[in-house]
Amino acid sequence: MREPAGARLGLEMEMVVVRRGSGASHAAERYPLALAAIKRGRGEDIRLTMVGDRAIGATGPLGESGFDNGYNLLETAFAPVAGGPGGLDRLAAAVRTELADVREALGAEDAAVLNAAEHPAAALDTEHYLRMRVPRPIYAELVRHRGWLHRIGIDAKAQNGPCTAVPVASAARALNVIVALAPAFVALFANSPLQDGRVTGLKENRMLLWDRMFRHARFAGDHRLQQPPERPFADLGDYFRWMFAPDTVSRGLPLALDQGDDEYKSAASVYLDGHPSLGRFLRAPSWMGRRADNGAPVTLKPHAGHFEYSQFAHFLDARYRYRLASRPPLQDLLSAWERPGGIEALYASLGVDGYIEGRAPGAVFPDRQLCDEAGVEVAGRAPMAASALQLGVLRNLDAAEDLVRDWGWLRLRGMRTTAIRMALEDDRVRALAADVLAVAGQGLPPAERSWLAYADHVLASGRTGADRLLELWTRTPGCVAEKLRAVYAWRALCVPGA
């Protein structure tokens, strides 16, 4: 019997931070310390992550809580919970606890979480960016070395990324369906119609982040790696050939592999001379480069660990993320990479823990507006809806693949832009969302289908988070500051039952 998807479930939950009352963007620099104190008060063992003398994260039994790119955007990477019967319930319990802790920690500095996938009126200028940006070493590489417009995301663009364990044998199939069906996820969880105090004309403006960030990057391949491919991946080898193709340039590689395995955003890294692709570097005996931190020359010898480390190099709507129990000799990896199904067979022999990281769903949380419209129970299930949708789709993989074939890969690829612009106002996108919800519902046991309640409500009503936010913004008279106050009053996070 084939192992089903969802043996373990995780979530990367991002949250927009605002000042209480005004709704203005807020730098919650004291948040990790306040959160750690709350969790330690329950007897939890909490470890702080530091950059210099600043705490940027607090890690404990529930996972790692801290900042994403800026002090105005929180992120919790939940520790995986056991899947199977009751798996979504277990993850939901962790989410409820975390949201209650987040609300209490932010309250200590008169701040709160806003139900939005992007702050409605935060600045994007360089001064604001430098003030808000978390001082991780990798950001120097992205901005100065690769030429990314990193500040385009400093207005707290927030996703709700479900992480669903998948067997390595079906990993490429699972990745394909989540990439192909992304328009449905974008539409159902659209929640960012505003930017810099202006109506954008889009329902999910957040999703243009990657195109804008890489459009004028130093290396053209960076822009290509955020665009869905023109065909599905044949297997994991095909996926990695796409990711590390000759037209791409390797990201900075860790100076010491044991330093970079877990904390790639903080690892000391090396820029390779001549800007080769990762594939080209791995096939060389060694390669000259220079340290990113001080420019000192370095000779780097390729290692299979560089391949595993570089798995984060693209920005599609879904990624296959994994950790190997042991690493192969480099030549074994390179040989397996060229054989159909070779990566799958090799990784299975080594022991692999892999999952699909969904990146299309916008952050959605319960608030006063949603509770009034859909009821407290539906609102309370909103943060879990994307996880339930992805789990149901991957648990019903054959039907999901049939759905992709029926709609057509290239047609779905083209619908992504429509979903960003119109969400469920487009009849085709709404029909796709209905099909995806049906497949997901069939993939979940009856006891867990209620976790789709928010997505069901959005489809039935045709009103996404973006529609509710846009209606509130446009009906409120006055200047941006007055509109923000109204948005805060109706859209601040509430935690039903907490």
Strand partners, 50: 55
Per-residue model confidence (pLDDT) at position 259: 41
pLDDT for 267 beyond 70: no
| CA-atom Rg of the chain in angstroms | 22
What are the b/e assignments for 294-329, b being 16+ CB within 10 Å?
eeeebebebbbbbbbbbbebbbbbbbbebebeeebe
Per-residue model confidence (pLDDT) at position 457: 98
**Average pLDDT over all residues of the chain:** 96
Per-residue model confidence (pLDDT) at position 438: 98
Domains of the chain: 8-238+315-491 (3.30.590.20), 249-312 (no CATH)
pLDDT for 287 beyond 80: yes
pLDDT for 260 beyond 80: no
Per-residue model confidence (pLDDT) at position 122: 98
pLDDT for 268 beyond 90: no
Cα atoms found within 13 Å of the Cα of residue 394, Cβ hemisphere only: 35
Express each pLDDT in 24-38 by its tens digit.
Answer: 999 999 999 999 999
pLDDT for 263 beyond 80: no
pLDDT for 397 beyond 70: yes
How many residues would you count in the chain?
498
Average pLDDT, stretch 1-16?
89
pLDDT for 91 beyond 50: yes
Average pLDDT, stretch 49-71?
97
Distance set, CA 145 to CA 252, 269, 284 (Å): 9, 12, 23
Phi, psi at residue 322, to the nearest 5°? Answer: -155, 160
Residues 6+ apart with CB under 8 A from 40: 46
Per-residue model confidence (pLDDT) at position 1: 40
pLDDT for 491 beyond 70: yes
Q: Look up tokens 């074939």; give the residue.
A: 405
Model pTM?
0.97
Per-residue model confidence (pLDDT) at position 264: 44
Can you point out the beta strands (E) in 172-278?
Answer: 194-195, 198-199, 253-254, 269-272
Express each pLDDT in 163-189 by its tens digit.
Answer: 999 999 999 999 999 999 999 999 999
Asked if 151 and 309 touch (Cβ cutoff 8 Å), the reply is no
Distance set, CA 271 to CA 112, 268, 291, 295, 299 (Å): 39, 10, 6, 9, 11
Asked if 256 and 268 touch (Cβ cutoff 8 Å), the reply is yes
Per-residue model confidence (pLDDT) at position 262: 45
Express each pLDDT in 214-225 by its tens digit.
Answer: 999 999 999 999
